[in-house]
Amino acid sequence: MTLIWFLIAALLLALVLALIVLSPWLRDKHKVARAPQHDQLLSLNIDVFRARLAELGDDYANGRVDDATYTTQKRLLERQLLDISAEPNTVASFVPNWKSYAIFLVWLPFLSAAAYLMIGNRSPVYDLWQAQDRYGNIADDLLTGRIDTPPAEAARDPQALLSAIQTNVYRHADDPMRWYHLSEVYLAVQAPEQAITALQRAYRLSPDDERLALAYAQTRFFGQGGTLDDEARQVVARILQRNPQHEGAQMLMLMGDMQAGDYDNARRWLASLRQQIQSRSGDHTQALNSLSQLAQTIDERAAQADTQAPASQAALTINVQIAPDLVNQIAPNDSLFVLVRPKAGGAPIAVKKLAAAALAQTQGKADLTVTLSDSDSLMPTAKLSQALAVNDTLTVLARVSHSGNAMPQTGDLTSNAIELPPDQAKSNAAVDVMVNHLVP
């Protein structure tokens, strides 16, 4: 249906252009129609000159003018008559007929369509229209909460369904909940960067919605390697300002402070959460046990930071190297991120952020040996040593960020994802990672 309406609109536009092109011909036709009137006036002037010659001859015959006057007046009238007779009495022009009009009315739309198709590949546009016709209603139902999961037919073509969902969201760009549901779709297809962007739009449209605000802060926290940056911290602080007992916001502040090494603040958030849970009626043993594990993790990290001793559970050594042709693109203020994540995707298991200045640069080369341990894990319940012990399929990646942001940005230097061997925990061998290309 979308294609049909497009073709109708394109045809009408082409016909309007054809009429614009034909309009000069129509004006010329009117000029040609006025030509006979011009010829009649010319004939009348010639008759007047001839009459005047006849009168002059009669005056000369009757002796009313002398020879010199007659000769002079006769030559003057004859010259004027010759000048008028020499003027063109018709205008050479093309006179169009109905065939000429028909050619333009047919060929101009045809040539316009040919030019439209030849300028570029239009298949993505047609695919989008087909997706809209097939899944437009399903996308609207998903984004408005009328259905929770797409039907089997739509699930078999996820790319077309995603296109229909994106189009629907942009048509209702002032609806924060549509942006929120779009972020859920992005997370389902392992696209955290796009999910953060969608949630940011939803939060800006409805900053007082605690659900949207917390979802935005959480997704930003996990998407940036467990770092609670300034923007996410401001969002969480605003939630707590309106609702100081919000457990989700307190837990996010606890995790952010623990990851940042602010263990005193992390303990205060943990104590507040424990007090709130204990004050509620019912059995909350599982939640309290989780808080106890968090408290133990905080104590371990604090003790390690105090003694500045290497982590006893250190499990992975990574040799980061920079390709020689990219060394000169690293600035002293850049940041180096080294992370381990599941091969299937998702949030990283362990991340370490270092100053790019730590890279030893000698003779056009840059390298650094980095050790990742459980202290670099993002979640206390998903430690690096545990992932290595159960032989999960893990990958290692290194990236030099010009902005210091954990999210990849265009122009950053990055490596390919290096898959760890299954026996990495036993072999304890170093892994070589080469930063050799730019993020597009």
Residue 159 has pLDDT above 70, yes or no: yes
pLDDT at 327: 86
Q: Average pLDDT over the chain, rounded to whole?
A: 80
Instruction: Please report, for the chain, the start and end positions of each structural domain, with discontinuous segments joined by +.
Output: 126-277+288-308, 316-439
Residue 101 has pLDDT above 80, yes or no: no
pLDDT at 3: 59
pLDDT at 95: 58
Domain covering 316-439 in this structure, CATH number: 2.60.40
**Structural tokens at position 48:** 């007047």
Residue 112 has pLDDT above 70, yes or no: yes
pLDDT at 400: 92
pLDDT at 147: 85
Most confidently predicted of 96-110, 215-229, 364-378: 215-229
In the chain, DSSP finds a helix count (H) and a strand count (E) of 16, 9
Q: Are 426 and 390 in contact (CB under 8 A)?
A: no
Residue 239 has pLDDT above 60, yes or no: yes
Provide, rounded to the nearest whole percent, the portion of the chain with pLDDT above 90: 15
3-state secondary structure of 305: helix
Residue 375 has pLDDT above 90, yes or no: no
Q: Within 13 A of 215's CA, how many CA atoms are on the CB side?
A: 27
**Structural tokens at position 434:** 């080469």
pLDDT at 310: 43
Pick the CATH number of 126-277+288-308 from 1.25.40.10, 3.30.930.10, 3.10.450.50, 1.20.272.10: 1.25.40.10
Greater confidence, 292 or 15?
Answer: 292
Answer whether 126-277+288-308 and 316-439 agree in fold: no
Mean pLDDT to the nearest integer, 395-402: 91
Cα–Cα distances in angstroms (integers) from residue 300 to residues 70, 219, 372, in the given order: 134, 27, 16
Residue 69 has pLDDT above 90, yes or no: no
pLDDT at 429: 77
Q: What is the DSSP string of 118-182?
A: HHS--HHHHHHHHHHHHHHHHHHHHHHTS-SS--HHHHT-HHHHHHHHHHHHHHTTT-HHHHHHH
Residue 19 has pLDDT above 80, yes or no: no
Cα–Cα distance for residue pair 239/216, rounded to 1 Å: 12
